[in-house]
Structure 1
Amino acid sequence: MSLTQLQLNNLSVAKDVGKAFGILSGIASDRFPTSFLLIIGAFLSFIGYGVQWLVVSHRISPLPYWLMCVFLCMGGNSSTWMNTAVLVTCIRNFPHHRGPVSGILKGYVGLSTAIFTDICTALFSSDPSTFLLMLTLVPTLISLIAVFALHQSPPSSTSSQHSQETHFFHIFNILAVIVASYLLAFDITGRHGRLLSLLFSFGLVLLLAMPLLVPLYLALFRSRHDGGDDVENREPLIEEKDYSGGRVKEEVKKRQPLIGEEHRVDEMVKTVEFWVLFVSFLCGVGTGLCVMNNMGQIGLAIGKSGMSRPLWNAASQILMAVGYIAMAMSFPGSLYIGSMLVGICYGVRLTITVAVASELFGLKYYGLLYNILILNLPLGSFIFSGLIAGYLYDAQATKEAGGASTCFGPHCYMLVFVIMAFVCVLGCGLDLVLAIRTRKVYSKIHQQKILEHSSLTSTSS
């Protein structure tokens, strides 16, 4: 298929548009069990990626462009059902560890691309059809297994349980770093023989299976009686006053909840904080997706084959802007430096925003809230990748026989990077506004964590 850069970008956008339908999984998460979401995700993944595999492996004739977009959309949408099931369940199971939970889950999502790519490279010599076959089968099988293993459970209620959870989350973080280092070592050591590739794949599977030792340990060695003082599990983060009298209670129920309390969706969208968070998230993930969707062409063009969470978001936006400026300048090594900064900040942005949303608007309707926020993924992909990057690249590119277009030189993406750097600066400003508006909430959260830490310390001593 001879496609322009705009058409290629639109294929990536079609995948991200599937995430726009993730709002359905958010609604379902508040009404159906986790197993239902996982089964739907497995079905969509099997069909969406399965048809792509049939086309790429030439088992069926090429499909029309619009129909390929539909199946790409299905594949993209499948991840929203799986992500919603896992993230919402884990956030609700571990409300005291929202940051570590979202960080670990999003970290493994980021590693998943490298995991699939490296295994495919090691075992199947980077065959595209085999890669799609892996995407068809592996997520489907894992989701069906998770149907029996993933469920909502009561959060920790004692200091000993809270301390134990913290310890296990440290272990998960260490394992994630080990997996990332293992993948990096394989990538930078060049070509590998068949035996070494098999050993690498076996070792990677073992590393990925190691987190299963934690529930196994709990099942075998958890004591029957948990000691320690009760740690208050307060939801929402800001306590409501206990009003007496039916009339007063009715008035309290009708008022707009404060930031930090449970919000319904209609209440959430009426707050300034939500829209500031939404737009600043768009500025970060939209531009980040643009780089991810166009990294191949960017490399070709350049010539290479204790703070509050909103403040962390602001810092990530500035670093992301620096990454875009570095790639726009196109000095030696700028692609590596810029893409590294953008990738790190993109991950930070996703992780922190997930936790911020739960802290500001509660967990009761978190599934729907999460999927409303990630509407920014297809929206940002369409604006920055499908429109801005696609049009500007084609404007600079040279037309080739068959209708395709190619551009060589730093000028191909320079204006795109400058625009995205400006957008990140705008996003940083919005994050600072959000940090100012929520400083009382995060001060209260900080004080609560200090009290919990003091309780744990006094219990252990």
Structure 2
Amino acid sequence: MSALPWLTLSTIIWLQAIAGTNTDFPAYSSELKSRLHITQFKLNNLAVASDAGKLLGWCAGLAAKRLPLWAVPAIGAALGAVGYGVQFLFFCRKITSLSYTQFFFLNVLNGNSICWLNVTGYRSVMRQFLRKDHGAVIALTTSYMGLTVNIYLALAQVIVGRKNAVSDKSVYLLLNAVTPAAVALLVMPTVAAMREKPRDVKAGLVIMFVIAGVTGAYAVVDTMVPAVRRSSGIWPATVLLVMVAVVIVVPVWKVGEWVIGRGREEERDGGDVEGGGKKAEETAVEAYKISNTGAIAVLMVFMSVSFFLLLSSRNACLFVSTAIIGLGSGAISSIAVSVSSELFGQENFSVNHNIVISNIPIGSFLFGSIAALIYDKGGVEGGRGDRLCFGMECYSKTFIIWGCICSFGTILSFVLYSRTRNSFVSRRR
């Protein structure tokens, strides 16, 4: 039944949307800093520890080749439930003592759990959709990862109320432990079922991309207009959660098509000649299309400029730069999945891609350490022995260094593009 791949895609979107559990770390990091009595530098290392878990992401890739695919999200959810569950008990004072080192390794476990959930999404897409559609489908699913922090904030407000979500930070750790497990239970039966790969996905993807675009726009507006959120209670959070769930309309629509039975399969089978002509034409909407590595290079240019634009004290520059950096990093994350497949093939994709994204913990440690060291050096002693820093003086040097590093990355991106563009063009031909 053609609706099953779309049902799988919907559940994978939900899984990707809640997979980035480390993105809500800022929501409870201040209280964590106070509870553990650590400096900003050590707090940054805890954030890096979550990214460091991705260094072992290749384990999820190997497991995905040898285990049933439904077992992969189950393992990832279990790892996160243990890591965040223990931290939740510490915040609730059910565990009276938890050292900094123990907290560090729990964060490594949490970060690794994300890899298992992401591998499930990538493998499911590659198994349930034709190769020509992988790029668009993967881009769609990974785009929802940018909503993770908004979703957890919304869940916290809906479940315990806005005031309690602000005062009781432990709710985020509880949600990080429970939510992936609940969604994994929805994903497991859909990825386990066998189904035919859909041939015509254009209409379904257009609907899903429209839903994703509207949902993302709403999340941005909700974030940038806090006055509306304060005056509307939990309704903005509820609306966001409903909009994320709305992707289920596509498989429902496909079920309707299947029940009505319009005979589209027969029409497609009789139009092989026309289809062949379209395929040749598309091979010729692709020879002129910019490659994925070229797109990364262009995005890196804008991100580099944005870091230097942050040196301005104007609020407009802050909003524009943050938006560009967020959009750029999100787009690169989506494109990188297709690049890994194009450069190294799909046979060992799960392992290869998890090796490629080992740059995340490296970059997290490098960029975060630079920011934390400059912050602690420029701050003044606070009431609890920590150092506090405010204003552009605390971050101007950080933005300059980040901009220079990003500019160097831009040069490397253009080198990669120049070395791979010919092979991609010949492959399309």
TM-score, structure 2 as length reference? 0.79
Q: Which residue of 2 aligns with 1:44?
A: 79
* CA distance in structure 2 between the aligned counterparts of 1:380 and 1:30, rounded to whole angstroms: 28
Cα displacement string for residues 184-214 of structure 1 (whole angstroms, at most 9, x for unaligned residues) = 34331525579x5454444334322222232
User: By how many angstroms is 1:40 displaced?
Assistant: 0.5
Q: Secondary structure at the match of 2:219?
A: helix
Contact 1:91 1:101 in 2 (8 A): no
Q: Residue 44 of structure 2 is aligned with which of 1, 4, 9? A: 9
Q: Which residue of 2 aligns with 1:106?
A: 142
Is it true that 1:129 corresponds to 2:112 in the alignment? no
Closer/same/farther in 2, CA of residues 58 and 336 from structure 1, 3 Å limit: farther
RMSD: 2.6
Q: Residue 177 of structure 1 is aligned with which of 213, 238, 242? A: 213
Closer/same/farther in 2, CA of residues 445 and 214 from structure 1, 3 Å limit: farther
User: By how many angstroms is 1:332 displaced?
Assistant: 3.8
User: By how many angstroms is 1:120 displaced?
Assistant: 2.0
Contact 1:92 1:363 in 2 (8 A): no
Q: Which residue of 1 aligns with 2:105?
A: 70
* CA distance in structure 1 between the aligned counterparts of 2:74 and 2:188, rounded to whole angstroms: 7
Give the letter aligned to residue 173 of structure 1.
F
Q: Which residue of 2 aligns with 1:329?
A: 312
Closer/same/farther in 2, CA of residues 441 and 169 from structure 1, 3 Å limit: farther
Q: Which residue of 2 aligns with 1:141?
A: 182
Cα displacement string for residues 64-104 of structure 1 (whole angstroms, at most 9, x for unaligned residues) = 11111122222221111001111222134332123222221
Is it true that 1:367 corresponds to 2:367 in the alignment? no
Contact 2:128 2:196 in 1 (8 A): yes
Contact 2:154 2:241 in 1 (8 A): no
* CA distance in structure 1 between the aligned counterparts of 2:331 and 2:195, rounded to whole angstroms: 28
User: By how many angstroms is 1:403 displaced?
Assistant: 3.7
Q: Residue 69 of structure 2 is aligned with which of 13, 17, 34? A: 34
Q: Which runs of 5 or more structure 1 residues have no equivalent in the other structure?
A: 239-305, 448-461
Contact 1:29 1:367 in 2 (8 A): yes
User: By how many angstroms is 1:62 displaced?
Assistant: 4.2
Is it true that 1:434 corresponds to 2:403 in the alignment? no
Contact 2:293 2:416 in 1 (8 A): yes
Is it true that 1:408 corresponds to 2:413 in the alignment? no
* CA distance in structure 1 between the aligned counterparts of 2:202 and 2:43, rounded to whole angstroms: 44
> Counterparts in 2 of 1:441-460, with a 5 A limit?
441-444=423-426, 446-447=428-429
Contact 2:52 2:361 in 1 (8 A): yes
Cα displacement string for residues 167-194 of structure 1 (whole angstroms, at most 9, x for unaligned residues) = 2111111111121233334331525579
Is it true that 1:318 corresponds to 2:301 in the alignment? yes
Give the letter aligned to residue 93 of structure 1.
Q
> Counterparts in 2 of 1:128-207, with a 5 A limit?
128-151=169-192, 156=197, 161-162=198-199, 164-187=200-223, 188-190=225-227, 192=229, 196-207=232-243
Give the letter aligned to residue 419 of structure 1.
I
Q: Percent identity?
A: 27
* CA distance in structure 2 between the aligned counterparts of 1:168 and 1:440, rounded to whole angstroms: 32
Is it true that 1:397 corresponds to 2:382 in the alignment? no
* CA distance in structure 2 between the aligned counterparts of 1:155 and 1:354, rounded to whole angstroms: 23
Contact 1:329 1:414 in 2 (8 A): no
Give the letter aligned to residue 106 of structure 2.
F
* CA distance in structure 2 between the aligned counterparts of 1:442 and 1:5, rounded to whole angstroms: 45
Contact 1:23 1:371 in 2 (8 A): yes
TM-score, structure 1 as length reference? 0.74
Contact 1:92 1:155 in 2 (8 A): no
Give the letter aligned to residue 74 of structure 1.
L
Q: Which residue of 2 aligns with 1:422?
A: 404
Q: Which residue of 2 aligns with 1:295?
A: none
Give the letter aligned to residue 401 of structure 2.
I
Contact 1:318 1:428 in 2 (8 A): yes
Q: Which residue of 2 aligns with 1:376?
A: 359
* CA distance in structure 2 between the aligned counterparts of 1:211 and 1:65, rounded to whole angstroms: 41
Q: Which residue of 2 aligns with 1:356?
A: 339
Contact 1:118 1:183 in 2 (8 A): no
Q: Which runs of 5 or more structure 2 residues have no equivalent in the other structure?
A: 1-33, 284-288
* CA distance in structure 2 between the aligned counterparts of 1:107 and 1:153, rounded to whole angstroms: 26
**Count of residue pairs brought into register by the alignment:** 369
Closer/same/farther in 2, CA of residues 407 and 351 from structure 1, 3 Å limit: same
Q: Which residue of 2 aligns with 1:242?
A: none
* CA distance in structure 1 between the aligned counterparts of 2:320 and 2:218, rounded to whole angstroms: 21
**Higher helix proportion:** 2
* CA distance in structure 2 between the aligned counterparts of 1:428 and 1:23, rounded to whole angstroms: 27
User: By how many angstroms is 1:146 displaced?
Assistant: 0.9
Q: Secondary structure at the match of 1:393?
A: helix
